[in-house]
Amino acid sequence: MAIEMLQAAWMAVTASTIANCFRHASFGVSSGGCSEHSASEDLVAATNEGAAGDQAQASWDAPLDAGVVPDCDTFYTYVGADADAVTTEELTEEEIVRAVTGVHDDSDESVDSPEPNVGELGVPTPAQALDAADLLRRFFGAYEEGEEGLEIADAAERAVIRLKKTRQTSIKDFFSTK
């Protein structure tokens, strides 16, 4: 059903709708009329390119004849519209040398970007968690006012033991009869 609706919507689209979309996007429309680059210059460039230029010009004539693109735009202005767009990072000579040699000078790098996995600790094991609870118990036990800390250490130890006893469920557990 969705495919039929999509097909019906697409069939309802006219060439004027598409041209209007191009116009709204300011695609190929210049506010001051046509550019100074003329179609004759494009034809000269196409002749210099030979058969590939002829094929490109023939491909451009179809949307031009249909009125989809304005007369002042040419194939080569369309193709070269993003020729000056920066698409990759421009490296300095020092960055190229560092990339090739593999030598990194840490003095230039920002202090805000730490190395990955530096200072990151993995998940502690249950034994390490029990050792930490024991350490807290010894710390708070050394002070007379440490009763609240002892209760926290005891609660932490009970939680670790409870987690230690639980086991991960298996897919088979969901299908067992109870």
SS3 annotation, the chain: CHHHHHHHHHHCCCHHHHHHHHHHCCCCCCCCCCCCCCHHHHHHHHHHHCHHHHHHHHHHHHHHHHCCCCCCCCHHHHHCCCCCCCCCCCCCHHHHHHHHHCCCCCCCCCCCCCCCCCCCCCCCCHHHHHHHHHHHHHHHHCCCCCHHHHHHHHHHHHHHHHHHHCCCCCHHHHCCCC
Residue 32, pLDDT score: 45
Domain count, the chain: 2
Q: Considering 82, 114, 137, which residue would you say is the last residue of a domain?
A: 82
Residue 59, pLDDT score: 78
Q: Considering 82, 117, 147, which residue would you say is the last residue of a domain?
A: 82
Residue 163, token pair as written in the block: 């987690």
Does residue 158 lie in a domain region?
yes
Residue 138, pLDDT score: 92
Does residue 105 lie in a domain region?
no
Does residue 5 lie in a domain region?
no
Q: For the chain (length 178 residues), average pLDDT per consecutive 10?
A: 86 86 71 48 51 70 80 76 82 89 65 59 88 92 89 91 80 70
Q: Considering 20, 52, 82, which residue would you say is the last residue of a domain?
A: 82
Does residue 72 lie in a domain region?
yes
Residue 106, pLDDT score: 60
Does residue 23 lie in a domain region?
no
Residue 31, pLDDT score: 45
Contacts of 19 (CB under 8 A, 6+ apart): 67, 68
Residue 155, pLDDT score: 92
Residue 111, pLDDT score: 52
* pTM reported for the whole predicted model: 0.30
Q: Tally the C-alpha atoms within 13 A of residue 38's C-alpha that lie toward its C-beta.
A: 3
Does residue 62 lie in a domain region?
yes
Question: In which domain, by residue range, is 64 found?
Answer: 36-82
Does residue 1 lie in a domain region?
no
Does residue 176 lie in a domain region?
no
Integer Cα distance of 36 and 110 in angstroms: 47
